[in-house]
Structure 1
Amino acid sequence: MEIKVASINDWPSLNLFYNKIYRQNHPLQNKLFWEWQYGDPNYGRSFICKDDNGEIVGHVGASFGGGIAWIINVFLSEKYRGKGILTDLYKMAREYHPLAATAANDAGLRLYRNMRWIRYHNLVRLVKINPICKNTFEEVCVPKEINAVKLNHKDNHYFKQPSLKGIEFIGQTTAVDQSEVGGARIVDLNENLLFEEEAWEMGYNWMDYITSWNDLKCRKLEEKGWQLDSNTCVPWLLNPLEKGRYSNISFLSETALPNDFIVHRSYSDHGRIGSL
């Protein structure tokens, strides 16, 4: 039994593991994506457990952002549960940063409850629909042609995700292009909101912004007509489009975070390719 920090040299074993436990075309089955997610210790690490045959039987991923290790991609083969392996993997992640998580599934929530983690208000997703559109799924969530020259923002690690198309609007607001379903997903939000008119002029039908409940920028957005996603026709899951499926993104941490801590879209995995 071996517990270690994974490196690109483990890729053959990692690839077999990811193809075994995840759906087809999961982003971690792409070597370039794995290197983006876990290859640089400044941004993330993959912690693995191998059995005596060299097969990966346990995995904890951590994405680093905001001084936090965001726990993602947790899996342990049933045969090895109850042996303290996850405890050891989490301990390795904790050596980098304090631990937190978003978008935990039911099993994850049970695990974190047993670990006595703190649960906060779910993340809040606000949506703005182009004023020329009716608030209907059939009219809003349709492909749009956007000038490709604009889709080249690569100024930080988040926007260097393989296959992600980044935009920088006026006033340094940035977003991920989702023109295949008519929209753009805000990443860095400048409070002057000058980007709205530019987005509509470019041809987008909608934009969204997901953040912590205590993000005071939400007040300005609401004053400008942004609404909770459940009051609009734009679903959270876009690939494939799931009509009527709105955001339900949990937010937890192992120890208390500062009152003014805000969850940025680039943290954890709710804002990466495969979850957008």
Structure 2
Amino acid sequence: MFTEFEAPPAAGATLPPHVHLVRPAGTVEDWTMPQHWERFTAEEHRVWDLLFARQQERLAGRVVRAFAEGLDVLHLSRPGIPELGELNERLHARTAWQVVAVPGLLPDDIFFAHLATRRFPAGNFIRRADQLDYLEEPDVFHDVFGHVPMLANPAVADFMQKLGEAGLAALASGNIHRLSRLYWYTVEFGLAREDGELKIYGAGLASSFEEAGYALESPLPRRRPFEFERVLRTRYRSDSLQQAYFIVDSFDDLLAQIEGADLEALYDGLAEQPDLLPSA
């Protein structure tokens, strides 16, 4: 049901505070809400600044140029949680995208509908100071620091819209589990080859202090060239360091692959094949 999970929570399970099975009060039909930037506390802005400073240092030499350029173009290095109105002026002028505030993880149909219309949902909350290293649900730091800089890149911006359109089609055909894997292994945990070196571009890596180093330097995970069929077959875990990463040669190539892919034919061809474990 949710993009970040391979299966919905079990009936009766206790949900994390920012995971909702029904639309919360204070949101409209598309689950968006006013950011109310003025309601963020000084402590919450301080947490953003702590996260930003240590992650920017952590990413030095590890992240693709497009990410660093996005931080600069969007002025994300200024202190405090970004005000979405100001951010959207710069982002929309660059790639016609905008960021919208949401209460937390969204149902897949709502999430992919936003992407298909070039709207990126950002959780309207931030972790506590004692949660700097890990938070189960994506917060405003993960969503804005991790994702938005890459949305200033035209090829990635177009790829994200194509993912939204593909997600809606996959929901209709019963293949959302496969399309979610494409999202997971690119937008969240993708690696790219740049100037002969491996670099980070996925938001799950860019916003994670531990995994930003692990993804590039640990001998444990598998690192494979990006292949559509293998990505669609490879399961993932959302609650641990990844066991596999897929490497793209360029963002233009990634966009060309999704534009040229007959995803429904791929889904049909994979229907009788077993899923792959990421460690396979």
TM-score under structure 1 length normalisation? 0.24
Counting helix residues as a fraction of each chain, which structure ranks higher? Answer: 2
Counting strand residues as a fraction of each chain, which structure ranks higher? Answer: 1
TM-score under structure 2 length normalisation? 0.24
- Look at both structures and tell me which one has the larger radius of gyration over its CA atoms: 1
